[in-house]
Amino acid sequence: MGAIPLYHEEIEYPTSDGEPIAETGIHLDVIFELVDALERRYRDVPDVWIQANFFLCYEEGNPRAFVCPDVALTRGIPKGLRDNYLLWQERAPSLIVEATSPSTARDDLGKKKGIYERIGAEEYLLFDPRGESLKPRLQGYRLEGSRYIPIPSEPDGSLLSRTTGLLLRPEGSRLRLTDAATGEPIPWRDEAHRMWEEAEERARRLEEELARLRTQ
């Protein structure tokens, strides 16, 4: 009688839960603006991966062991979309940011913080755009050894992310990112678009002036 082959069922890890990305439109804007600013900063760096609202699975063989960060950045892995983020195939994120709301604050400061600490995420920041759940509205933790320690706030309420070299500072319900080395802020998308329009207008006026001078 021939040997009976062993059957190994392939484990399917989650990719979607059908839940909305964020609590409100304000929280959604914070998430999208963060991703946009980070992607523009690291556009030409091939091994910095950035994603929002994805499934981070942290125990091989256990599809129930997952967490959904609002925004994450990982150094040392290639760019590109992933159905999910399998920690045993990737590496721990360098930076995770949660846009906190009254319905998520307990989880963000409790369960999620514990998981991020355990898996070795280097920095964990929380931002409450409405100031409803966190005081101060921007808080952060940095991994020292295997434990998180609070990141001290600057006098203006900003926090320094060592993993990115960025200062993050609340401005109204938005989060401003500034290059700590140069002091140059990263424009939000609407600011970048306005700057582009102004540059286009200056170029148009210059062309008109040059054309006028050539006809004299």
Rounded Cα distance, 216 and 43, in Å: 45
pTM of the model: 0.84
Rounded Cα distance, 171 and 33, in Å: 13
Element housing 167 (H / E):
strand 166-171
Residue 138 has phi, psi (to 5 degrees) of: -115, 120
Q: Mind listing the pLDDT tens digit of every residue in the chain (216 residues)?
A: 455 554 446 889 988 765 656 568 899 999 999 999 999 999 999 999 999 999 999 999 999 999 999 999 999 999 998 999 999 999 999 999 999 999 999 999 999 999 999 999 999 999 999 999 999 999 999 999 999 999 999 888 999 999 999 999 999 999 999 999 999 999 977 776 665 555 666 767 767 667 777 787
Are 93 and 99 a contacting pair, CB within 8 Å? Answer: no
Rounded Cα distance, 24 and 6, in Å: 49
Pairing of strands 48-52, 85-86: unpaired
